[in-house]
Amino acid sequence: MVNRSDIGRIRQVNEDSALTGLINDHMAFAIVADGMGGHQAGDVASQVAVEAFQRVLQQHVEIANWTAEDAKRLMRIAIRQANDEIYHLAKQLTQYHNMGTTIVAALIIDSLVIIGHVGDSRAYRINAEQLEQLTEDHSLVNALVQSGQLTAEEAEHHPRKNVLTRAIGTDDDVDIDVRILEWNKQDLLLLCSDGLSNRVTEENLHQVVVSSLPLSERADQLIELALQAGGDDNITLVLCDMNDSPDRREDT
């Protein structure tokens, strides 16, 4: 499991954060957060989110016999903790007013992957046959596409493409999408901020991720593709190969 983050070519601050690791011998985790709120706010929001998420998981380090439903509940608890901490920090300090972040996270238990997300950071399942987007963007343009008011092509160039309908830390409560997936050994997991998914086509994502390069080089190549496409946003990703043994799923 590897993670990468790049400030891009335009932004002055990297407002993205990512973290991967092991809770114990039975569970691995990954999280990507894309902060918003400007200098000294978005970067704080994303960092608070990943730290709060990890802290909740560490409180359950002694548990070994995780069921899918247990992990699903843990995902919701961890993301809600991130929401609470960012929301109250934004209320207390003027410089953090209106800050927030997206979250896309995964808990990995044997052949199960539990995905949780809020916002427009994405999770993909990728194998030799296909690339499958596992998350629905919580964004204005996606809502318009779903209702038939915009085509997917129109949404790509819509001036309000970056407007979110749901985010972490902007309200005292948040609706979290969580799903449980059976995972095959040949499947790879990609979590990313929109700095990658908005700039690199699904065809190119698929081509790089299923290549025979070492996992770290595939991650580097994805960052490079986003930079070559303009790099007008921060670019962050986690790439996980399910063939990795648990003791190799560690922070990179």
- 2's tokens: 């590897």
**pLDDT class of 251 with cuts at 50, 70, 90:** very low
In whole angstroms, what is the distance from residue 149 CA to residue 114 CA? 32
Query: Residues of the chain with pLDDT > 90: what percent?
Result: 76
Whether 248 shows a pLDDT value over 70: the answer reads no
Helix runs in the chain, H state only: 42-58, 68-92, 140-146, 152-156, 194-197, 202-209, 215-228
The whole-number average pLDDT for the span 52-56 is 97
More confident residue, 110 or 237: 237
- 199's tokens: 């700039």
Q: CA torsion sign, 43 to 47 to 48 to 50? A: positive
Judged by DSSP in three states, 193 sits in coil
**pLDDT class of 64 with cuts at 50, 70, 90:** confident
CB 104 within 8 A of CB 117: yes
Partner residues linked to 190 by β-bridges: 124, 239
Q: CA torsion sign, 160 to 162 to 166 to 169? A: negative
Q: Please state which CATH number belongs to domain 6-246.
A: 3.60.40.10
- DSSP secondary structure code for residue 129 in this structure: S
Residue keyed to tokens 């986003």: 226
Whether 250 shows a pLDDT value over 50: the answer reads no
Segments making up each domain of the chain, as ranges = 6-246
CB 83 within 8 A of CB 94: no
pLDDT digits 0-9 by tens, 134-151: 999 998 888 887 888 877
- What pTM, to 2 d.p., does this model score? 0.93
Helix (H) or strand (E) holding 236: strand 235-241
pLDDT digits 0-9 by tens, 169-224: 999 999 999 999 999 989 999 999 999 999 999 999 999 999 999 999 999 999 99
Judged by DSSP in three states, 165 sits in coil
Q: Residues in the chain, how many?
A: 252
Q: Is 242 left (phi over 0), alpha (psi -120 to 50) or beta?
A: alpha
In whole angstroms, what is the distance from residue 111 CA to residue 58 CA? 21
pLDDT digits 0-9 by tens, 67-117: 899 999 999 999 999 999 999 999 999 889 889 999 999 999 988 999 999
| Secondary-structure breakdown of the chain: helix, strand, coil percentages, each rounded to the nearest 5 | 35, 25, 40
Structure confidence at residue 244 (pLDDT): 65
In whole angstroms, what is the distance from residue 213 CA to residue 30 CA? 21
